[in-house]
């Protein structure tokens, strides 16, 4: 037999060959198993990071609810008060720096003085809000953003008043940021009053360029976003419509409520002026662009069409109306040519829109950069009262 002639040498199993066999087996095992082990590691890492991220989201939401529920801003308002909110602390006046911005920073006080001196409103029937605390602001804002306001330079850029940069920050907090925080308290409280009374007007607020992590365009705090988050939790509201009719695009609340189905944003703005925020524009639910030079008739026609479309699209439980008066003809920043009577008619249309569907409405006064703005806002409030859309007298008789 062939085999018999062949000398097959079977090598005796030495320690070395045994080690080689083991190494080969281990090599093969790792070669085939490594991708599988890697896959398992990646899966488990991504699952644990997604659990961690949903856990941290849940923690953040719990903290937000806790902050809202323990806030003092939803103060009790006695029935004899009218849901018009204002405090003399709103008005910014300090060493003349307020004159360095085209913004009339005593506009809010002048609106009330017109209404009181002409007998439409009694001084003691106005609601005085509380100033928003750091905890209140953290409902929307990041720690990093609030800390950035400890730099006077940063506040100077947001307020667009360069000399603020050289002031000690404690003065900036006291004279600039504290009035803003008081107005924020007013906007937040307005939602509670609107739910109780059907409407509320904060004679300040409307800082629609500020989002959770960024201020700008004279807006240091995101009062509209804060107002809506408080309403979600404390008023059990889940569908809000923002009607933003300031001349500028409301990029702050648009960024904060990007892709949030609970908030419908109708924004009518001039696309040729600040802030040119293209990303925020993509978050507007209903965009109406009004070019420079648009006159009263055309503006009101566009508004009618827009409100009709909004009516068909969304059924809100609360409306936040950002009623900037910088659409007025002659405003140095708005670029539009709407006459004072056009602003009065605009406000009437929005209040009628809410009243016809029995939706609580919060109005904030937002931008408006001429001395005449205060007069126009006061005239508009008087008109709303005359048309029976708001009641600023009957509450006073109840006292």
Residues that bind Zn ion (CB under 5 A): 246-248, 324, 326, 367
- Name the DSSP class of 133: P
What residues are paired with 288 via a beta bridge? 268
Do residues 217 and 324 make contact, with C-beta atoms less than 8 angstroms apart? no
Min dist. Cβ of residue 169 to Zn ion (A)? 27
Nearer to Zn ion, 121 or 376 (CB): 376
Min dist. Cβ of residue 340 to Zn ion (A)? 17
Nearer to Zn ion, 131 or 331 (CB): 331
Min dist. Cβ of residue 207 to Zn ion (A)? 10
Do residues 327 and 302 make contact, with C-beta atoms less than 8 angstroms apart? no
Nearer to Zn ion, 198 or 324 (CB): 324
Min dist. Cβ of residue 271 to Zn ion (A)? 13
Tokens of 283: 């978050």
Quick one: angle between helices 15-69 and 223-234, nearest 10? 90
Distance separating alpha carbons of residues 107 and 82, to the nearest angstrom: 20
Pairing between β-strand 286-289 and β-strand 240-244 as defined by DSSP bridges? unpaired
Distance separating alpha carbons of residues 126 and 81, to the nearest angstrom: 6
Min dist. Cβ of residue 332 to Zn ion (A)? 11
Min dist. Cβ of residue 177 to Zn ion (A)? 20
Q: What are phi and psi of 200, to 5 degrees?
A: -160, 145
Distance separating alpha carbons of residues 105 and 117, to the nearest angstrom: 20
Nearer to Zn ion, 139 or 350 (CB): 350
Task: Give the number of residues written for the chain.
Answer: 399
Min dist. Cβ of residue 343 to Zn ion (A)? 13
Q: Is 197 exposed, middle or buried, given 0-12, 13-18 or 19+ CB atoms closer than 10 A?
A: middle
H helical segments located in 9-90: 15-69
Do residues 256 and 211 make contact, with C-beta atoms less than 8 angstroms apart? yes
- 76 in catalytic set: no
* Of 141, 209, 229, 395, catalytic: 209
Q: Give kind and range of the element (H or E) at residue 245.
A: none
Q: Is 148 exposed, middle or buried, given 0-12, 13-18 or 19+ CB atoms closer than 10 A?
A: middle
Nearer to Zn ion, 83 or 367 (CB): 367
Min dist. Cβ of residue 139 to Zn ion (A)? 24
Q: What is the DSSP string of 141-179?
A: S-HHHHHHTT-HHHHHHHHT-GGGGGS-HHHHIIIIIHH
- CA 211 to the chain's CA centroid: 6
In the complex, which residue's CB is closest to Zn ion?
367
Q: What is the DSSP string of 97-125?
A: GGGGSSS-TTHHHHHHHHHHHTTSS-GGG
Q: Is the peptide bond before 5 cis (omega within 30 degrees of 0)?
A: no
> Could you give the 3-state DSSP secondary structure of residue 267?
strand
The catalytic residues are 209
């Amino acid at each position: 037999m062939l085999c018999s002639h062949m000398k097959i040498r079977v090598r005796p199993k030495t320690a070395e060959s045994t080690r080689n066999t083991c190494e080969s087996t281990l090599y093969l095992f790792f070669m085939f198993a490594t991708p599988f082990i890697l896959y398992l590691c990646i899966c488990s890492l991504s699952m644990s990071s997604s659990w961690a991220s949903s856990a941290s989201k849940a923690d953040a939401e719990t903290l937000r609810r806790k902050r809202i529920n323990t806030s003092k801003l939803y103060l009790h308002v006695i029935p004899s008060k009218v849901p018009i909110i204002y405090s003399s602390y709103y008005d910014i006046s300090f060493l003349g720096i307020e004159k360095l911005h085209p913004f009339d920073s005593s506009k809010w006080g002048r609106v009330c003085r017109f209404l009181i001196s002409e007998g439409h409103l009694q001084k003691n029937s106005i609601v005085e809000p509380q100033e928003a605390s750091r905890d209140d602001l953290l409902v929307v804002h990041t720690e990093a953003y609030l800390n950035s306001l400890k730099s006077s330079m940063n506040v100077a850029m947001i307020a667009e008043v360069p000399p603020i940069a050289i002031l000690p920050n404690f003065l900036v907090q006291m004279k600039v940021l504290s009035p803003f925080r008081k107005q924020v308290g007013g906007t937040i409280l307005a939602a509670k009053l609107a739910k109780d009374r059907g409407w509320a007007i904060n004679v300040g607020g409307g800082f629609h360029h500020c989002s959770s992590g960024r201020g700008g365009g004279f807006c240091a705090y995101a009062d509209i976003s804060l107002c809506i988050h408080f309403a979600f939790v404390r008023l059990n509201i889940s569908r809000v419509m923002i009607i933003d009719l300031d001349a500028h695009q409301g990029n702050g609340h648009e960024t904060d409520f990007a892709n949030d189905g609970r908030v419908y944003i109708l924004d009518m703005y001039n696309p040729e002026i600040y802030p040119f925020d293209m990303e925020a524009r993509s978050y507007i639910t209903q965009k109406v662009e009004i070019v420079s030079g648009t006159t009263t008739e055309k503006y009101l026609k566009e508004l009618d069409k827009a409100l009709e479309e909004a009516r068909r699209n969304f059924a809100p439980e609360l409306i936040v109306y950002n009623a900037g008066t910088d659409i007025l003809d002659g405003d140095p920043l708005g670029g539009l040519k709407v006459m004072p009577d056009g602003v009065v008619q605009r406000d009437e249309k929005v209040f009628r829109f809410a009243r016809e569907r029995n939706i609580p409405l919060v109005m904030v006064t937002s931008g408006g950069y001429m001395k005449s703005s205060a007069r126009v806002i006061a005239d508009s409030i008087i008109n709303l009262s005359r048309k029976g859309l708001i009641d600023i007298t009957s509450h006073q008789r109840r006292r």
